Amino acid sequence: MVDSHDTLWQQRFDGDSAEALRALNDSLPFDRRMFREDIAGSRAHAKMLAAVGLLTGDECDSICEALDIVENEMADGRFVAAIGDEDIHTAVERRVTELTPAGAKLHTGRSRNDQVATDLRLWTRGALSDVAEAVLGFQQTLLHRAVEAGETLMPGYTHLQQAQPVLLAHHLLAHGWALTRDVDRLMEAKRRGDVSPLGAGALAGSSLPLDPSFTAAELGFGEVFDNSLDAVSDRDFVVDALYALAMLGLHLSRIGEELVIWSSAEFGFVELDDAYATGSSMLPQKKNPDVAELARAKAGRLIGCLTGLMTTLKGLPLSYAKDLQEDKEPLFDAVDTVRLTLAALNGLIATLRFDVERLQDLASSPYAMAADLAEVLVTHGTPFREAHAVVAGLVRRSLEGEGSLADLVAADERLPAEAEALFEAAAFAERRNTAGAGGAGAVAAQVKKFRSRLNTDATRLG
Ligand code: ARG
C-alpha cells in the first residue's frame, strides 16, 4: 500500500518534497479535467496488457472495475486527492491500486510521458468537436438573421467610409463564411492530432511485447506513432488547436468591433437587447456593449495562448521535458474562452434589433451609386477610367452645392437616360448581382449555398 504522502517515485528519494516544489510542480489542479481521458487510456492499456499476456483476464477485469469506480468518484466529486497525487495520472493509478492489488501492474510498459500525450490528444479531439459545434450554432444564428433581413440594404464600407450599398444579409453572411474556414481549421487540427502516442513509454518504447496499435484502435485513433521520441515530445497538435482557436477568436473580435461601432449613437445601426447589454454605475443613460467589447478583447488572450506555448516549445531538446506540462493551461483556457465568447456573441446577435429604416436611409445616399453610374457609361462603350472621371466631376459639383447628384446626372448629356433610374430606391438592391456580390439576386443564391454548407459541415461533425 502506498503511503498517502508518496508520489509514484518517492522510493528513490530521502524525505518529503518541499512545499514550493509541489506548488510549482503539481498539475492535478488543472489536469484533473482530463480524468475521463486518462481513465479511457488506462482501460485501453490494461486491455492491451491482457491481450499480450502481461495481465491475466481477472487482473484486467479488476483494474477495469476499479477504473469505473474512480471515474464515478471523480465525476460526482467524491474523489479525495492524496497529498502525493501530483497529477491526474498519479491520482488515478494510486486510487486504482487502493481498490485492487492488480493496480500495481497498470503502469507496466507505460510512462506518464506517453500517457499524458495520449490523454491530451483525446481531450483535444473532443474539445475541437465541441467548439466546431458551437461555431455551427453561431453560423445558424447569422444565417437566420440574414434571412430575416430580407432585402434590407445598408451602407457597405471600405476604410470605414461609406462605399457601396450592400444587403444587410450580405454583411452578416460575410462573417458566416469566415467562420466556415474556422470549422475547417478546427477539423483539420483534429485530423492532425489523430495519432496515438501510447506505447512510446518514457521515450524509447519497451522491452515488453506491447502492442501500440491495439491501444490506438481501442481509443479510436486513426494512426499510431512511428517514433517513440517524437511521440512523447510532439505537441504540434496543441499548437494546431491553439492556432485554429486564435483565428476563430480573431474573427469573433472583428464581429465584436463592428457591433461596438454599430451600437453607438453615431451609427445607430443596432440596439442591443437588455439581456446582452450592461449599464454604467455613474451614467444612468448608458447601455454598454460589453459582450462585443470582450469578444474583441479575448482575441488578444487567445493569441497569447498560442504564442506562449510556441515560445515554450521553441528550442526544447528531445524528448519529454517538464516544460511540456505547460501545454495544458493555455489549451484549456483557449477552449473555455472561445466557448464563452461564442455563446455570448451568439446571444447578442440573436437578440439585437436592427434599425432597418436607418440602414436603408444611409444606404440610399446618391453618392453610393457613383460606381454604378460609371458602369452605366461603360456599358455604352466609355472606357472605365474616363467614366470614373465624368462621375467624379459630377460628384464634386454636387458636393460643392450645384445641385443634387440626380439632377446633375439628368442634365448631363454624356450620361444615358437609364442612369437616372439608378436613383430609384429599388434599383440599389437590384444591381451588383455577379456571383458572390452584394445585390439581392446574388445574395439569395448565397443564402442557399451557405445553408447547404452548414448542412454539410453538420454531417461532417456527426
Ligand atoms: N503532469 C505531467 C505533464 O503534464 C505528466 C508527465 C510527467 N512526466 C514526468 N516524467 N514527470 O506533462
Nine cell digits for residue 196? 496515438
| Whole-angstrom distance, CA of residue 17 vs CA of residue 15 | 7
| Whole-angstrom distance, CA of residue 315 vs CA of residue 286 | 50
Q: Which residues of 89-125 are buried (b: 16+ CB within 10 A; e: fewer)?
A: bbbbbbbbbbbbebbebbbebbbbbbbbbbbbbbbbb
Mean pLDDT across 45-71: 98
| pLDDT of residue 4 exceeding 50 | no
Give distance in angstroms: CA of 264 to centre of ligand 1.
50
Q: Is 113 in the pocket of ligand 1 (CB under 6 A)?
A: yes
Of the pLDDT bands very low, low, confident and very high (cuts 50, 70, 90), residue 13 is confident
Of the pLDDT bands very low, low, confident and very high (cuts 50, 70, 90), residue 425 is low
CA torsion, ordered 34, 36, 42, 48, to nearest 10 deg: -120
| pLDDT of residue 47 exceeding 70 | yes
| Start-to-end C-alpha separation, the chain | 45
Q: Which of 325, 326, 332 to mutate to test the pocket of ligand 1 (most atoms within 8 A of CB)?
A: 325
| Radius of gyration over every alpha carbon of the chain, rounded to an integer in angstroms | 30
Of 11-15, 136-140, 286-290, minimum mean pLDDT range: 11-15
Look up 280 and say whether it is catalytic. Answer: yes
| pLDDT of residue 3 exceeding 70 | no
For residue 57, give every residue at least 6 positions away whose Cβ sits within 8 Å of its Cβ, in sequence order, or none: 50
Q: What is the domain class of 10-108 according to CATH?
A: mainly alpha
| pLDDT of residue 2 exceeding 90 | no
Give residue-wise pLDDT tens across range 194-230.
999 999 999 999 999 999 999 999 999 999 999 999 9
pLDDT of residue 363: 92
For residue 314, give every residue at least 6 positions away whose Cβ sits within 8 Å of its Cβ, in sequence order, or none: none
Q: Is 27 in the pocket of ligand 1 (CB under 6 A)?
A: yes
Candidates 380, 300, 372; CA nearest to 334 is: 300
Give residue-wise pLDDT tens across range 129-168.
999 999 999 999 999 999 999 999 999 999 999 999 999 9
pLDDT of residue 5: 56
Nine cell digits for residue 227? 517514433
The two domains 10-108 and 119-148+168-209+222-357 share their CATH topology (first three levels equal): no
Q: Is 325 in the pocket of ligand 1 (CB under 6 A)?
A: yes
| Cis ω for the linkage preceding 319 (within 30 of 0) | yes
Give distance in angstroms: CA of 49 to centre of ligand 1.
22
Give, as one character, the DSSP assignment of residue 278: B
Mean pLDDT of the chain: 94
Give distance in angstroms: CA of 200 to centre of ligand 1.
14
Q: Which atom of ligand 1 is nearest to the CA of 89?
A: 5
Contact 424, 364 (CB under 8 A): no
Q: Which of 85, 112, 312 to mutate to test the pocket of ligand 1 (most atoms within 8 A of CB)?
A: 112
Specify which residues 223 forms β-bridges with. Answer: 195
Of 33-47, 179-193, 276-290, 386-400, minimum mean pLDDT range: 276-290
Give distance in angstroms: CA of 267 to centre of ligand 1.
53
Of the pLDDT bands very low, low, confident and very high (cuts 50, 70, 90), residue 11 is confident
Domain 119-148+168-209+222-357 sits in which CATH superfamily?
A: Fumarase/aspartase (Central domain) (1.20.200.10)
One of 280, 380, 404, 452 is an active-site residue; which one? 280
DSSP strand pairing (270-271 vs 353-354): antiparallel
Q: Give percent of the chain above pLDDT 90.
A: 82
Give distance in angstroms: CA of 436 to centre of ligand 1.
51
Q: Is 34 in the pocket of ligand 1 (CB under 6 A)?
A: no
Domain 362-461 listed as CATH 1.10.10.10: no
Give distance in angstroms: CA of 316 to centre of ligand 1.
15
| pLDDT of residue 240 exceeding 70 | yes
Q: Is 87 in the pocket of ligand 1 (CB under 6 A)?
A: yes
| pLDDT of residue 235 exceeding 90 | yes
Look up 233 and say whether it is catalytic. Answer: no
Domain boundaries, the chain: 10-108, 119-148+168-209+222-357, 362-461
Atom 7 of ligand 1, residue of closest alpha carbon: 112
The vertex-328 CA angle with 65 and 132, nearest 5°, equals 85
Q: Is 334 in the pocket of ligand 1 (CB under 6 A)?
A: no
| pLDDT of residue 418 exceeding 70 | yes
